Structure 1
Amino acid sequence: MDQEQYSKPLLKSTLTIPKSKHILEFDIHDIFAELKLQLMLAGPFIVVSFLQYSFLLTSLMFIGHLGELTLSGASLATSFAGVTGFCFMMGIGGALETLCGQAYGAKQYQMLGVHMQRAMVVLMLMGIPISIIWAFTGQMFTIFGLDLDISKEAGNYAHWLIPSIFPYGLLQCQIRFLQTQNNLKPLMISTGFASLFHVGCCWILVSKFGFGSSGAALSVAISYGVNVVILCMYIKVSRTCERTWVGFSKEGVRDLGGFLALGIPSALMVCLEHWTYEFLVLLSGFLPNPKLETSMMSISLSTISLAYRIPFGFGNTVSTRVSNELGAGKHEYAKIAVWVALSLVITEVLVIGLVLVAARRVWANLYTNEAEVVSYVSLVMPVLAISNVMDGLQGVLSGVVRGCGWQKMGTLVNLGAYYLVGLPSAVILTFVYNLGGKGLWIGIICGSGVHALSLLVITTRTNWVLEAKKAMNRVHSSTITLTTVS
């Protein structure tokens, strides 16, 4: 869909307006039009987010029937792969939300294909060191003192996950390429088909052919590959991409350093936050009743990760809207998009929080029949509801960061919020004040709260006229004449 369908032209160039209007000064029709648009975009984003989340989860479900040792090894390997590979790939791909989104808003359509090619080259090269790290997963776990059998199982699962890192990287590029064009229907269809295919692939490799956890890991790579092929075919033949994809070009392998200047901070933004939650699991293992604490933490993290899919969808939506409008020089519409997205996510997290609290025992029973674990999870659930509110706010505001190209600043905010406030608070509350696993969550809420508040202050104090000028300068400084090679 074209950008023209999503924003009305201003009567005069917004870059001549010296001061942005307050949100209450906007025409109510503009606000409702933006609200309707964001709901239309957020729905597909949320569906795609849930479906992508289901890939690794489905494999673990099949592995769960193979025994406790196999499940423990695969779970550890999945967590390790997320920390060292998947979240880094996803973060690097986030740079395309800035570059492609602003280029699309500025009608520099061919640059979307160039930016995507650069991202593909970078991510394929990044996949090599990640593969080497995954190849030695078992040995690293053994060195760190983990049980030998579990380390062996984790190492085996990580070996078979290696092929998945390359299609996963390509998929992140394709998703951002289509996302920034507001072209979401093919993403939903391809991801939905790949998810169904993944279930069948897992059943065949794990249950039918008896390949065990190796088959479950390999099915992840195959399913990601299927998704990539479907989107490749769509991008190649679809008329909706004929202006943004004109074939491979020599420019697609040039200025990789320029792409990394935005891609590395974008990756660090994601990784710094993701690593914090992994630290919580490690810290829970040092508590007096580690089995109870790690069980609670596992269920809590799963719950929060699942709930976060919705704010993540809203974050992608506002990233696309802000980048498109800034690239077009329409700073007023970018500002509207930010406040509408914040209003939507505040409503959503409050509703989900109430549901989590009201259904806390029912939800805990879905994971386990152990009365002690159910009781503990129920006790922690109100804290998780507060955590969900903070995560929702920072999720949308992080989307604003990506849309504006503030990744370097976002990295510094994440570093300070989680590593100077969040983790130290968690350690003090847990091990000094003896609050147990509840202290871990309260501590991390302190970090996410500082994160959300910092980004909110930055956003409210933003000069949107200046941001539009920066976006247009970024787009036009990177515009080149293409020489296609295919």
Structure 2
Amino acid sequence: MGLDGDQKWEEVIREIKKQMGLAGPLVLVSFLQYSLQLISIMFIGHLGELQLSGASMALSFAGVTGFSLLLGMGSALETLCGQSYGGKQYEMLGIHMQRAMVVLSLICIPIALLWASIEQILTFLKQDPLISEQAGIYGKWLIPSIIPYGLLQCQLRFLQTQHLTSPLLISTAASSFIHLLVCWVLVFGFGFGIKGAAFSTAITYWVNVIILGLYIKFSPHCQKTWTGFSIHGINNLLTFLALAVPSSLMVCLEFWSYEFLVLMSGLLPNPELETSMLSISLSTSSLVYRIAYGFGSAVSTRVSNELGAGKAMAAKLAVKVVVFLGLIEGIALGVLLISLRNKWGFVYTNEPQVVRYLSSIMPILAISNFMDAIQGVLSGTARGCGWQKIGAWVNLGAYYLVGLPCAITFTFVLHFGGKGLWMGITCGSCLQSILLLLITFTTNWEEQATKAKERMMDTSTSTLPTITTPLLQ
């Protein structure tokens, strides 16, 4: 019994090391990617309040209608590439990535048309004409960033599922530094202003895509998984779409619910104060969520690899370990936020009223971020298993049947103000975490391994010609 106990602890320690080795670089990559928008907004902030308002509105519109959609669809590769890599179907990783690139590139066309009409759409929605005009300018110059952003999501998942995190970290760090320089040169050096800030984002994404593209082509680590462009990469696109659409819904339904909070904050008695508080707290929450997302990406890779290899119990252990790590992370960050509640607001503003209001919100925000830490790692588990459809239904129920109605009730019926918005959405994330926990810990992992094998057979035999039959004949 003692030996078995020691062996189990050794397995747990090995799994913790594997996940920390994956999560560390992925968390940093997530932070660096998030910093691109912050850098652009920082430069725009020096141009004037009107430009800042317009760019912020355009970015919010772009996030809802484009970036979140492409991020979600690209996440389907965490299932497909991860399980194929675990099952040693190495050539299929390149095929899956090509399919994703084709589909996401096609999706970019309607997104571009939508972004070209931002000014007209916002004007139709009775937004301020001057702000709408600036948002329209920023949106049009952001259009060149759509395709490289979509391609980048495919490359990231292709490398992540092979545990190749170092090139991701190096390329993203280099791109972030380049973005800082390019943004400054275009905004102030050439005087392009808000147009330069938007276009610098496209340049940065293309630089990142090119760096990773060269690595994938020439690195010996990708020799088995990338064998060049193939006709199979444009066949059977519906197989990818069948997973990509619910994967996108899973991400978008959650992302959109938080955007509704911003809209509701403008309906409160003191909209300027409420919107400022919500903007700061959402920025804080998004920043903190980078950690949970990194851990979720790590466990997605571990679970998909193990299921693809037919190692059901190893996948189960990976889930248990990441939930434990998520709990520790959620508690630690919650304590940190509460301890900094009286000072954190000064990072964003010098207005005492906003800082005091934010301080009163911080305990609720800490609880919300704790739930995000749990659901973040469980959402990663869902992507690794291929549960995107289940995840989409969970998010629909948690946020739109519970979270947003609770937010409306607490805010406008019980008159809790901005606190009510966070209390309501926290109820949604709490339900989301509970449902995902129940699904995860009642799962038959042997059955999941079987489904992974069936998925790999469906995607490989239907597209790739076999070379064994002629040899046998």
Q: Same fold (TM over 0.5)?
A: yes
Alpha-carbon shift at residue 371 of structure 1 (Å): 0.6
CA distance in 2, matches of 1:330, 1:290: 54
Matched, 1:450 2:431: yes
1:228 is the counterpart of 2:212: no
Q: Equivalent residue for 1:35?
A: 16
Gaps of 5+ in 2: 466-473
Which residue of structure 2 lines up, in the alignment, with residue 307 of structure 1?
Answer: 288
In 2: Cα distance, 1:264 partner to 1:157 partner: 28
The C-alpha deviation readout for 1:344-401, integer Å capped at 9, x for no partner, is 1110111111111111122101100101000000000110000001111110000010
Mapped partners of 1:29, 1:391: distance in 2: 29
Deviations 1:97-150 (A, max 9, x none): 000000000000000000000000000000000000000001100000000000
Q: Give the 4+ runs in structure 1 shifted more than 4 A.
A: 23-26, 480-483
* Alignment coverage as a number of residue pairs: 461
Q: Greater shift after overlay, 217-226 or 473-482?
A: 473-482
Query: Which residue of structure 2 aligns with residue 12 of structure 1?
Result: none
Letter of the aligned partner of 2:377 in structure 1?
V
Separation in 2 of the partners of 1:26 and 1:336? 13
Deviations 1:202-249 (A, max 9, x none): 010001111001000000000000000000000000000000000011
Q: For the residues of structure 1 that align with 2:6 and 2:451, how far apart are their CA atoms?
A: 24
The residue that corresponds to 2:340 in the other structure is: 359
- What does 1:172-187 correspond to in 2, within 5 Å? 172-187=153-168
State how far apart, in whole Å, the 1-side matches of 2:345 and 2:445 are. Answer: 45
Q: Please give the root-mean-square deviation of Cα atoms over the aligned residues, in Å.
A: 1.2
Worse-superposed segment, 356-365 or 442-451: 356-365
**Could you tell me which residue of structure 1 aligns to residue 84 of structure 2?**
103
Cα pair 1:44 1:185 within 8 Å, conserved? yes
* Aligned pairs (5 A) from 1:17-166: 27-166=8-147
Q: Determine if contact 1:318/1:341 at 8 Å carries over to the other structure.
A: yes
Kept after mapping to 1: 8 A contact 2:239/2:459: no
Query: 1:239 maps to what in 2?
Result: 220
User: What is the CA distance between 1:26 and its match in structure 2?
Assistant: 7.2
Contact 1:74 1:154 in 2 (8 A): yes
Partner Cα separation in structure 2 for residue 384 and residue 241 of structure 1: 42
The secondary structure found in structure 2 opposite 1:429 is: helix
State the partner residue of 1:200: 181
Percent of aligned pairs sharing the same letter: 60
Residue equivalent to 2:259: 278
1:14 equivalent in structure 2: none
| CA–CA separation in structure 2 for the residues paired with 1:469 and 1:28 | 27
Distance in 2 between the 1:24 and 1:451 partners?
34
Counterpart of 2:272? 291
Distance 1:335 1:95 in 2: 20
**Aligned partner (choices 328, 331, 352) of residue 347 of structure 1:** 328
User: Is the partner of 2:228 in helix, strand or coil?
Assistant: coil
TM score, norm. by length of structure 2: 0.96
1:394 equivalent among 364, 372, 375: 375
Whether 1:167 and 2:129 are equivalent positions in the alignment is no
Residue 384 (str. 1) matches residue 365 (str. 2): yes
Aligned AA for 1:51? L
Aligned to 1:316: 297
* Greater relative CO (CA pairs within 8 A, separation 6+): 1
Q: Which amino acid aligns with 2:273?
A: L
C-alpha deviation, 1:476, in angstroms:
1.9
Can you give the 5+ residue segments of structure 1 that lack an aligned partner in the other structure? 1-22
CA distance in 1, matches of 2:148, 2:174: 16
1:330 and 2:311 matched:
yes
Q: Which moved more, 1:470-479 or 1:195-204?
A: 470-479
